[in-house]
Structure 1
C-alpha cells in the first residue's frame, strides 16, 4: 500500500492542505514556509512524533492528519475490508485534541438504508425486529441472534445487492479496526532521516536504528538456518543447566561448588528469618548477545569507527543503509497484537544534501529515484536544486506561506504541461543550463534567450544597485524555448518576466522577420497575466547596448563592453533593467 493523498488540518503553520501523493515527492520552498511541518505531520500520523499544544494552529482545539492509501495487497484488502472503497482505497484519519488525547478513525462506505448500517446492528438482534427486513434470509434460522450475526448478514446482503444500493462515505464512530490503540506500523514502516543526526545512532545494533532493523533480520535468519549457530545455542543451554535446579528440584552434579557455598553462607545468615537463598543464572539470549556486541568499522584507507569519519561519509553511509533496507521484503509478525504489519515502506529525508558536494547531490537524487522505483515512497524536503529534476515536475511540491492568515499552502502540477515534442525540446535545454532547477526557489524568475542576456542583465542590475538575490536569471537556450518555461512557471504560480528579442533587424529578410514574430506571439500567448509578463528588447541585447554584431564571444565581449569607460547605458535600457528587477 502507498499514499494516494494527504490532508493536513491545523498542524503548526498549516490551516488545511490536501496533497496528491507521488512515489517520489520533493518538497521545496523558501525558509520558514512550512516544508518541515508537512514532514512532521506525517511523523505524527505514524506515531513517531507526539503532538503538543504548541502544534495546534492558532486558536484551534483539534488537528488531524488524514491519509488515503491505495495499491493494497490482497492481504491488506482482506484486513481492511471494512474500509475498502469500490476503487480499492482506504482512508484513515488521526485526530489530536488539545490536552494530549488522540484517536484513529477510518472512513467507511455506509448504506443509506438504516437496517444495513453496522451501528444499527444491535437493534436487530431480536427476531421480531428483523423479520420484516430482507436480513432474515441471511441469519441463522434458529437460536439466539448476536450482533455479529447481524453484521455478517448486512455484509452478505450488501455484497449481493451493491448495484442497487446507495452509499455515503463518512468517518466511523468507533476506533479504527475496533482497537483502542492502533499500531502505526499497520500502515507500513516509516523511516525518518532528519537533517542533523549523528550517524552513530543509525549504525548501532539497537532495534530502533536503521542498521539494527536490517541486522536483526540477518541474525534471525542465521538463527534459523545456520547449523553452527544452532549447535552453539544447544551447548550454551547445556552449560547453563549446570548452574540451576533441574526439573527434579535438584542441582546438577557438576555445579560449581563456589556458587553452592555462597548460597549456604547467605542462607545461614538469614536462618532466623526462615529464608533459603537459591542463586539462579539465566541463560543469555545469544541473538541479543551478538547484536549488543557488534561494532561497525569503516576502512576508507584508515580503519576507524564511524564517529571518526567526516560528516559527508557518515551521511552517505546512512543513505546506503536505507537503500539496502528498501530492497528487503520483511513480511514479519507484530508480536504484541498478532497482526501482520504492512510490507510498505515510506522514507522521509530532511535536507539530505547536507555535507554533500554538488556532484554527490545529483548522484543522490538518482538513488532516490531508484528507491522509489523499487516500490517505496520517498519524501524529500530540500533546499538544493541538485535534488530536483524538471523532467519529473509532477514530483515537485512548493510549500509557500504568503501570510499567517492563509498559512502554508502547497503548489504542484498534476497534469501535462507540454505537448508533442515540447517535452523533448525542454529536456534538451538542460545541457544548455543545468542550473535551471533553481527557478523553483526564486521569488521571481527572469527568463532570458541566451548566455549573453544572462551575463549582462544581472551585471547591469548590480551596477545600478537594483540586483535582487531572490530572483533567478534562467538561460532558456533560445527564444523558442521560453514558452515551455512559461508553461512550467504558470503551473506552479511562480512569478516571472520573459525577456525576448523582437529580432526586427534591418538586415533580416521578410521571412526571418515573420518567423521572429511567430516566436514572439507564442511567448505572448503562453503568458498568464496573473503570474508573469513579457518585456521586449529592440531588436536584441547587442543593439540595446550599442554593441556591434558578430563580435567574438558574445557574453565575454558584452561584459567587456559594459565595463569599458566609454559605455553609457541608455535611458530605455535602464528602464528595462529596472522593470525586470522591480
Structure 2
C-alpha cells in the first residue's frame, strides 16, 4: 500500500498544503520552515504518534489530513475493497471534531464516515519506520528502530536467517556501555546497505512497501558516505520501499530525481511547499543536462539557496564572489552555479522556474570586435533564448559587455589576451592598484541584490 498524495490543513505551521508523493521524497528547507511538521502530520495520520494541542495551527481552523493510497497487492485489494473508490484507490481522511477526530473514506465522490476500529484496520496495512534526527536520537530510539525493522522483515518473510544474523551482528556494537550518536547513525547506515544489497539480489524490496521517514541522514557521515547512503536509498525506493528524507545536504539531492524534490519554505502565512511535476527536459536535453550535472555534482546546492546566480563558466564563478566581497554585498545564502556554457543556462532556468527559486542569469554578450559576424549572430540568438526563458516574477538577467574580462578592465581586449582566463583575471582584480569600474560595480550589486 503506497501513499501517493497527502493534503494537510491547519497543522502546526501549515495552513493548507498538498504534496504529491514519489517512493523517494526529498524534503528540503531551512531550519524551522516546516519539514518536521510534514513528518509529524504523516506520522499522526498513519497512527504512529498521538495528537498534541500544539499540533493545531495557531488561529487556524479545524485540523484535517487526507491521504490517497495506491493498492498494489491483490490480497489487500480484496481485504480493503469495502473502502475503495471506483478506481480501486483508497482516499482516507482524518478530521478534527467537537469530540475528538472523525474518520472518513471517499466512495463514489462522497465522504463516508467510518469508525476508529475500521480506520485502525486500514492503516495497519502500511508499515512505518521513523528515524529521528540526532537531536532526538538516543540508544533507546535506535533500539526501537532496530526492533521495528526486524518486525517488518519478519512480516514480509523475505529474509533468511543469515541476513537477519548479519543485521543483528551490525546492531550488536550498540550493546557496549558507550555508544556515541555517531556510532548509532553509522549502524543505521550499515543496516541500510544490507537491505539495499539483498533487495537488489531479489529484485524487490525485502521491506515491501514499508514507509521510512528519515530525518537528516547526513549527520555524522563524511561526504563520500553521504553519497553512498543516498544511492542506497534510491535503490531501495526503486524496488518498492517508500523513503521520505528530510535533509540539509546537497549530497542527498540528485537532479535526475527532481520529481522527488519538495522544497519547504515559510513566510508570514506559514509553511509552503514547492514541487515540479512536469517534464523539465525533452529529447537530448535530458542527456546533456545529466552529463552536465555529473561533471559537477555540487550544482545540487541550488535547491538549498535563497537565490541562485547562474554563470557561464569558471571565470565568472571565481571573480563574482571576490568582487562582491570587495564592495560589501556578498551573501553566503546565495549559490553561484557554473552552467558550463551559455547554451545550458536556459535548462537551469527551467529548473529554477519549476521550483520557484529566485535567480539571476549572468552571461556574456560575446560581441567582441575580433569575432566573425556568424559567431556574433549565434551569440545573440542564445542571449535572446536566455531572456525568453526567464520568469521575471522570480528571475532576472545581467549581461556583461562583452564579457567579465572586458568589464574588469573597462576596455576592449584582443583575442590573444584570453589565455589562462580565470587565473589572469583574478590576478588583475587582486592587485593593489585595482579599482572596480563603476559600471561593473553596479552590475555586481544587481547580481547580489
For normalisation by structure 1, the TM-score amounts to 0.69
1:385-534 maps to which residues of 2 (within 5 A)? 385-403=250-268, 405=269, 407-534=270-397
How far apart are residue 562 of structure 1 and its match?
Answer: 0.5
- CA distance 1:310–1:35, change in 2 (3 Å): same
- CA distance 1:47–1:566, change in 2 (3 Å): same
Alpha-carbon distance in 2 for matches of 1:568, 1:517: 30
Secondary structure in 1 aligned to 2:297? coil
How far apart are residue 85 of structure 1 and its match?
Answer: 2.3
Instruction: Tell me the number of residue pairs that the alignment of Structure 1 and Structure 2 aligns.
Output: 431
Alpha-carbon distance in 2 for matches of 1:370, 1:565: 53
Q: Are 2:125 and 1:187 aligned?
A: yes
Residue deviations 1:121-148 (CA, integer Å, cap 9, x gap): xxxxxxxxxxxxxxxxxxxxxxxxxxxx
Alpha-carbon distance in 2 for matches of 1:294, 1:451: 48
Q: What is the aligned partner in structure 1 of residue 114 from structure 2? A: 174
Residue deviations 1:481-537 (CA, integer Å, cap 9, x gap): 100000000111111100010000000000110111111111111111112011100
How far apart are residue 425 of structure 1 and its match?
Answer: 1.2
Alpha-carbon distance in 2 for matches of 1:295, 1:580: 50
Alpha-carbon distance in 2 for matches of 1:386, 1:222: 33
Alpha-carbon distance in 2 for matches of 1:520, 1:8: 42
8 Å CA contact 1:188–1:343 kept in 2: the answer is no
8 Å CA contact 2:83–2:90 kept in 1: the answer is yes
Q: What is the aligned partner in structure 1 of residue 220 from structure 2? A: 355
8 Å CA contact 1:28–1:398 kept in 2: the answer is yes
Q: What is the aligned partner in structure 2 of residue 248 from structure 1? A: none
Q: Are 2:404 and 1:537 aligned?
A: no
Q: Which has the larger radius of gyration?
A: 1
Q: What is the aligned partner in structure 2 of residue 315 from structure 1? A: 185
Q: Are 2:431 and 1:561 aligned?
A: no
- CA distance 1:296–1:443, change in 2 (3 Å): closer
How far apart are residue 445 of structure 1 and its match?
Answer: 0.6
1:104-503 maps to which residues of 2 (within 5 A)? 104-109=103-108, 169-175=109-115, 179=117, 182-183=120-121, 185-196=123-134, 197-198=136-137, 200-201=139-140, 204=143, 209-210=147-148, 212-213=150-151, 297-298=172-173, 305=175, 308=178, 311-322=181-192, 324=194, 344-403=209-268, 405=269, 407-503=270-366
Q: What is the aligned partner in structure 2 of residue 6 from structure 1? A: 6
- CA distance 1:560–1:311, change in 2 (3 Å): farther
Q: Are 2:68 and 1:68 aligned?
A: yes
Alpha-carbon distance in 1 for matches of 2:98, 2:223: 43
- CA distance 1:208–1:369, change in 2 (3 Å): closer
Q: What is the aligned partner in structure 2 of residue 570 from structure 1? A: 437
Unaligned 5+ segments in structure 2 are 162-167, 200-206
For normalisation by structure 2, the TM-score amounts to 0.88
Q: What is the aligned partner in structure 2 of residue 47 from structure 1? A: 47
How far apart are residue 216 of structure 1 and its match?
Answer: 6.4
Residue deviations 1:354-397 (CA, integer Å, cap 9, x gap): 11111111111101101101211110011111100011111100
Alpha-carbon distance in 2 for matches of 1:438, 1:207: 30
Alpha-carbon distance in 2 for matches of 1:373, 1:183: 27
How far apart are residue 107 of structure 1 and its match?
Answer: 1.4
How far apart are residue 208 of structure 1 and its match?
Answer: 7.6
RMSD: 2.9
Secondary structure in 2 aligned to 1:447? strand
Q: What is the aligned partner in structure 1 of residue 102 from structure 2? A: 103
How far apart are residue 181 of structure 1 and its match?
Answer: 6.3
| Deviates most, 443-452 or 423-432 | 423-432
- CA distance 1:460–1:412, change in 2 (3 Å): same
8 Å CA contact 1:296–1:306 kept in 2: the answer is no
Residue deviations 1:542-572 (CA, integer Å, cap 9, x gap): 1111285545432222211101022121110
How far apart are residue 477 of structure 1 and its match?
Answer: 0.7
Alpha-carbon distance in 2 for matches of 1:66, 1:569: 57
8 Å CA contact 2:85–2:106 kept in 1: the answer is no
Alpha-carbon distance in 1 for matches of 2:43, 2:156: 27
Alpha-carbon distance in 2 for matches of 1:483, 1:374: 34
Secondary structure in 1 aligned to 2:280? coil
- CA distance 1:202–1:479, change in 2 (3 Å): same
Alpha-carbon distance in 1 for matches of 2:193, 2:140: 17
